[in-house]
Structure 1
């Protein structure tokens, strides 16, 4: 099987020659220009021969064009820090406008995606990382102010979320039109330590579905649940083929998730402690255990999230060689 055939078979519930595998990281500095983002993405894929490419964007890309400022300041996962926001008062939410995705930071990410698609192996799927409208709102305001305004001025925040969702939907549709195979949609607030279920149904779900409906032509769409108490049952009906979450450390393990979500599970490797600190043999053992627990089916072996840039290549090779 080639990579595309392998993942399509897993999604369809058919037997495969082996379990697919993938992992991803941030590239501080290189993720700020189209040519360098494309270069590190392609080099990483050639070195590790993964079953799919996840476009390794920084979280700032989806709100950069609104005027935030940011910098890399040594974050262990390689992401950038927000130095300034653009939402301060309740009325700032209703001032947000729909962005032209062919200009600015959105525009050059489309350019980078074009470069990668033109040079990658044709049988290697590529999915585009996106942060859902609720996460984007937090990047614009900060978590604390977003939650305060969401509860005090729900109509204003809802109007802004609709605008953010429209821009996101247009962007991912353009990515699919360019040749991307799907979206990796990160939903950071879909966890009970962040919001109540009703809050997420009101403020998170509508934007999520607008983005996912825009990528309906994609065949490899992934929902990422970020947090230790994910709202998996609440979102299990989302129109995606695969689910990624912090399966090793959260309160939902692989077996439990398999009974909740009908599609493919992406997990098995703990990324914050095991992947940076374990021996290659221990990483491989964790991977083999995940494969055995799932009976080699309905699984793409991955970390639960982005891993630290301090992870050794020997551990990454061990993870790849597990399958």
Structure 2
């Protein structure tokens, strides 16, 4: 009997043999997704839902990353008054029943109505430091480094508060919303002062707290080490994060699926394809896309591999291109 899509992905996450390699790609469904505010404009959430529905019905992916478009901004009322590390150190949680959390749980429930647990679903969630990029009115690339230099403990407190709310969100979208796990986006901080030691001391505890909450609800969680817009990361900073699978910008980092699998101790890995308009997935003809698929699998093997991209693929990308990957992965 052929494996169902859920069985395919479950086997891949557990590094077991699969009848074919599972495939998943994802799009943003809102324009300016990082600043769109579905909390104040419910039509944006409706557009996001319909985007998911159209994509799901047209492509029937093997697994789905549920997009949190419209909810990137963490709407903390105290953010407007944060001008120093001391201010950040006074932050208090929004609370487990805040509308920002409630509405995302409701979003996931709506998405599950047509997905019907036919496939694994992973809800997109950002780490606290990434949330600050979208949400702090005065955010800039040196702000966190400046705050840490001024009062490291205050920064640790502020990040922990944000992590508490995100941990609540992660647990609730799994337990109540019906997602199988989270797709958790992290990134090295673009500031030379924030070394690996500083990151592990200041940022990692909150990120680990979020993963602990998600794993408590369901252990099928994915870590995305984001290389958006060419951002480079040291993948080794995340080797001790407890997740089922890792996804990183294989093209940006020049680290293949096979190499990444070694870095992460043999855990399952997702990706392989570049996600820009200049990469093979978007520019190559059918023969080129299929040849690249087969090259990736010849190098990485077929156990513990889920084919996808570095990050979100371009809007308007023809779905037949994604089908070429799935077809080539059957061979």
TM-score category by the smaller chain? Answer: 0.7 to 0.9
Q: Is the Cα contact below 8 Å between 1:19 and 1:301 reproduced in 2? A: yes
Residue 201 of structure 1 and its aligned partner are, at CA, apart by 0.5
Other-structure match for 2:145: 147
- Residue 273 of structure 2: which of 269, 273, 276 is its match? 269
Q: Secondary structure at the match of 1:113?
A: helix
What is the CA-CA distance between 1:163 and the residue it aligns to? 0.2
Indicate which of 92, 96, 104 corresponds to 1:97: 92
- Say yes or no: does 1:256 pair with 2:259: yes
Q: What CA distance in whole angstroms lies between the structure 1 residues aligned with 2:87 and 2:94?
A: 16
How far apart are 1:101 and its partner, in Å? 4.6
| 2:284 is equivalent to residue 278 of structure 1 | yes
Distance 1:102 1:54 in 2: 24
8 Å CA contact 1:219–1:241 kept in 2: the answer is: yes
Q: Which residue of 2 aligns with 1:129?
A: 124
Question: CA–CA distance in 2 between the matches of 1:271 and 1:193?
Answer: 27
3-state SS in 2 of match to 1:143: coil
For structure 1, which runs of at least 5 residues remain unmatched after alignment? 69-83
Contact 2:129/2:159 (8 A) holds in 1: yes
Match of 2:41 in 1: none
Note the 1:98-117 alignment, pairs <5 A. Answer: 98-117=93-112
* TM-score calculated relative to the size of structure 1: 0.86
Q: Given that residues 245 and 268 in structure 2 are in contact (C-alpha distance below 8 angstroms), is that contact kept between their aligned partners in structure 1? A: yes
Select the residue among 6, 9, 15 that pairs with 2:8.
Answer: 6
Structure-2 change in CA distance of 1:194 and 1:151 (3 Å): closer
Equivalent residues, number: 307
**Worse-matched range after superposition: 148-157 or 196-205:** 148-157
State the shift of 1:226 in Å.
1.8
Q: Does 1:238 align with 2:233?
A: no
RMSD: 2.5
Partner Cα separation in structure 2 for residue 306 and residue 51 of structure 1? 16
Aligned to 1:173: 171
Match of 1:35 among 46, 66, 69: 46
Give the C-alpha shift of residue 190 in structure 1: 6.3
Residue pairs, 1:299-314, within 5 angstroms: 299-314=305-320
CA contact (8 A) 1:137 1:146 kept: no
- Structure 2: 5+ residue stretches without partners: 39-43
Select between 121-130 and 247-256 the one with higher mean Cα deviation. Answer: 247-256
Q: Secondary structure at the match of 1:65?
A: coil
Cα deviation for residue 10 of structure 1 reads: 1.3
Q: How does 1:160-239 map to 2 (within 5 A)?
A: 160-178=158-176, 179-189=178-188, 195-216=194-215, 217-227=217-227, 229-239=232-242
Moved over 6 A (4+): 190-194
**Pair 1:85–1:186, CA change in 2 (3 A):** farther
Mapped contact 1:246–1:270 kept (Cα < 8 A): yes
- Mapped to 1, the partners of 2:82 and 2:328 lie a distance apart of 46
